[in-house]
Structure 1
Amino acid sequence: MDLFKLSQHNTNVRTEFFAGFTTFLTMMYIVPVNGFILADAGLPIDAVITATALITILSTLFSGLWSNTPIAMSVGMGLNAYFSYGLVLGMKIPWETALGIVFLSGILFVILSLTNFRVWIMTSIPMNLRRAISAGIGTFIAFIGLKQMGMIVGNDATLVELGDFSKPEVLIGVLGLVLSFSFYAYKLRGAFILSILITSITAWIIGIGDFPKEFISIPASIEPILFKLDILSAVSLSLLPVIITFLITDMFDTLGTLTGVGTRAKLFQENNKDDKSLQKTLEADAVATTAGSLIGVSTTTSFIESASGVEEGGRTGLTAVFTALFFIGTLFLLPLFKSIPSNAIYPVLVVVGVLMFTELGKINFEKADLATCAAAFLIVILMPLTFSITNGIAAGFLFYTIIKLVKREFEDLNLGILVITIISALAFIL
């Protein structure tokens, strides 16, 4: 096990094993959840569930071996919702083209991860705007979750209104929401998967959905979505803002995750010139996104749930390797995953959205200037209202730059912000 330098990281195989199992439990929910989300975009759910498990195994294994960090990877929450509800259903983009967009953003990420672009983009964009983007994505996916559960429905006069809580399906969603928040509050391992299980059993008992006739089967073929991405259709000036959105969001998501996990595990220390783990983890993340689009899933990213394994003592890539091995079992649980009622799944989106929204609390609005306040507000409010992460980011950066120019605060504008502002303008013009 010298490959993982266990003694150097003050850990051992047993600790890494249980850390990997803990990470697996906390992020296992992504397999059925992603299946339901991408199925809404028209992708066959059987193939998506298998592909999600497969990319989780491969990307997490690659991350562990390449970067020697306890970082697990899978299909990112937020961007998968944007893929289905923003691009495919909202912009009427074929899912094959949407996969092409993910591929191109991944290729750009691979190229940029080999350069100093990470440092440049991090120093160019104010931290408060990065936090607003995270919060905005949180509101977006929480809104989607509430809408899919029927807790919020359309209304011609007011756009939206409260759903019909006399319907059993809606009440099942409420139960799932309460359980998800409660289990997470108590920091239970596998809080999300446990809430999905209890909610599903309750739904089956009262006649919502069918109890699975079998729990295990051979993995479904991914042939219906394998290499079905349409790259040529994605190479369009009108889709450039969307590609950049996927790139920037994936990068922010990854860097935010690695910062949080790294602080606890004492990884990614900038003052250690010999520490290449951050660079290698970013490279693994970028390669995983590109590979994921080839087998038919949306953007793959580092999972914040990796922190649970770190809390159990995981410090090296062996933790990620064990996590990947545990995920092999999910390949054979297709009948169980397919039988889960949708309203047992969507509450997870709401909880994840709330957790992402908490980033907004880190912005000190009392001391923030008008440009920051306006940009943060527009980013957060427009993502759910326009069903588009791109529109939220674009509006935020446009108004940030405009207000800074009007107030002649030129020192707060740099090349990075100006480039993103130009791309943001293109998002509305095109």
Structure 2
Amino acid sequence: MGFFKLKEHNTKVGTEFSAGFTTFLTMMYIVPVNGFVLSDAGLPMDAVVTATALITILATLFSGLWSNTPIAMSVGMGLNAYFSYGLVLGMNIPWQTALGIVFLSGILFVILSLTEFRVWVMTSIPMNLRRAISAGIGAFIAFIGLKQMGMIVANKATLVSLGDFSNPNVLLGVLGLILCFIFYAYKVKASFILSIAITSIVAWIFGLGSLPESVLSMPASIAPIYLKLDIFSAMTLSLLPVIITFLITDMFDTLGTLTGVGTRANLFQENNKEDKSLQRTLEADALATTAGSLLGVSTTTSFVESAAGVEAGGRTGLTAVFTAMFFVTTLFMLPLFKSIPSNAIYPVLVVVGVLMFTELGKIDFKESDLATSAASFLIVILMPLTFSITNGISAGFLVYTIIKLAKREFKDLNIGILVITLISILAFIL
């Protein structure tokens, strides 16, 4: 195993195997969850499940071999919700055009990952605003999860109100949510998939769902969504802000994940010029997004669940290779995934949203100026209220720039912020 440099990383095959299996258990939930989320946008669930499993296998395998890091990749939570509920259902954009948007953002990411743009982004945008974006996306997907479970419903007088908690399906969602929180609090490695399994069993026992006719089957065809993206329709000025939103969010998500996981595994050391692992992981992430749109799924990104494999001792790309191998099994689990009640799935969105929202706590509002506080507030509050990540980011950067200009604090404004502010203006005009 000299290819993976196991000795240099002070690890061995057995450790990497165990770490790969741990990562697989922690992120296996993405296959059925993404199937449900994208099917809400009109994509056939059978094809989405297969495509999700395929892109997870291919992207994670490529990442392991190309970058030699224990980073697994799959369809990103947050942007898949924005794809379905923000673009397709919220803006009435055909899912084929939405896939075209994902493709274009991926191409831009590929180009930029080959340059020093990563460093420019990291130094241009204040850390507090990046944390606010993460928290805002968390609030957005948590709101979607609560809405889909029926815990929050529309109300003509107050816009939203509590749902009917005497409804057995709503109570099933509450059970799933409680189980998710408890398992995650006790740091159970397979907390999400375990909560889905138990909630599904309860639903089957009480007649709230149908038992699977079989557990395994051959993979469904991806023909209904394969190469169905509409790139031409996505290449319009009005959709430019959305493309940029996908690009920026994917980059922040990836860089945040790699920073957190890398610190623990002693990877991506900026002071080591010989270390090309970060650059190569970004390249793998960007290529995976582009490939995923061709297969028929939304943005693919590095998964923070890779940290579980790192905690289990994974240090090289062999961990990712083993993770990809384990994901091959999900190709044959379609009957089982389809029998899962929706309210066993949506609690996962809420918990993932809560975890992303905790980034807000890292912003020191006592030390922050008004521009940062106001921008952070608008980013976080407008994403769920307007059902749009684009609106939240645009409003936040506009207010930040306006306040800084009004106070003549020009040193806090750089080309990166001004470019995003200009795009934000276009987002509201168009």
Q: Same fold (TM over 0.5)?
A: yes
Match of 2:156 in 1: 156
Match of 2:123 in 1: 123
Superposition TM-score, scaled by structure 2 size: 1.00
Residue by residue, what CA displacement relative to the aligned partner does 1:234-273 show, whole Å, maximum 9, x if unpaired?
0000000000000000000000000000000000000111
Residue by residue, what CA displacement relative to the aligned partner does 1:24-82 show, whole Å, maximum 9, x if unpaired?
00000000000000000000000000000000000000000000000000000000000
Alignment of 1:213-252 (within 5 A): 213-252=213-252
Alignment of 1:84-163 (within 5 A): 84-163=84-163
CA distance in 1, matches of 2:375, 2:254: 22
Match of 1:80 in 2: 80
CA distance in 1, matches of 2:374, 2:364: 13
CA distance in 1, matches of 2:236, 2:55: 27
1:8 aligns to what SS in structure 2? Answer: coil
Gaps of 5+ in 1: none
The answer to whether 1:358 aligns with 2:358 is yes
Letter matched to residue 21 of structure 1 = F
Alignment of 1:303-322 (within 5 A): 303-322=303-322
The answer to whether 1:173 aligns with 2:173 is yes
Residue by residue, what CA displacement relative to the aligned partner does 1:192-226 show, whole Å, maximum 9, x if unpaired?
00000000000111111101110000000000000
CA distance in 2, matches of 1:341, 1:260: 33
Gaps of 5+ in 2: none
Alignment of 1:233-382 (within 5 A): 233-382=233-382
1:161 aligns to what SS in structure 2? Answer: strand
Residue by residue, what CA displacement relative to the aligned partner does 1:382-420 show, whole Å, maximum 9, x if unpaired?
000000000000000000000001111111000000000
What value does the CA root-mean-square deviation take over the aligned residues?
Answer: 0.3
Letter matched to residue 6 of structure 2 = L
1:354 aligns to what SS in structure 2? Answer: helix
2:297 aligns to what SS in structure 1? Answer: coil
Residue by residue, what CA displacement relative to the aligned partner does 1:79-116 show, whole Å, maximum 9, x if unpaired?
00000000000000000000000000000000000000
Deviation of 1:189 after TM superposition, in Å, equals: 1.4
Letter matched to residue 9 of structure 1 = H
Residue by residue, what CA displacement relative to the aligned partner does 1:314-358 show, whole Å, maximum 9, x if unpaired?
000000000000000000000000000000000000000000000
CA distance in 2, matches of 1:248, 1:126: 13
CA distance in 2, matches of 1:312, 1:189: 10
CA distance in 2, matches of 1:353, 1:202: 24
Superposition TM-score, scaled by structure 1 size: 1.00
The answer to whether 1:190 aligns with 2:197 is no
2:46 aligns to what SS in structure 1? Answer: helix
Match of 1:415 in 2: 415
Query: Which ranges of 4 or more aligned residues in structure 1 deviate by more than 2 Å?
Result: none
Instruction: Using the aligned pairs only, state the percent identity.
Output: 83
1:301 aligns to what SS in structure 2? Answer: strand
Residue by residue, what CA displacement relative to the aligned partner does 1:144-203 show, whole Å, maximum 9, x if unpaired?
000000000000110000000000000000000000000001111110000000000001
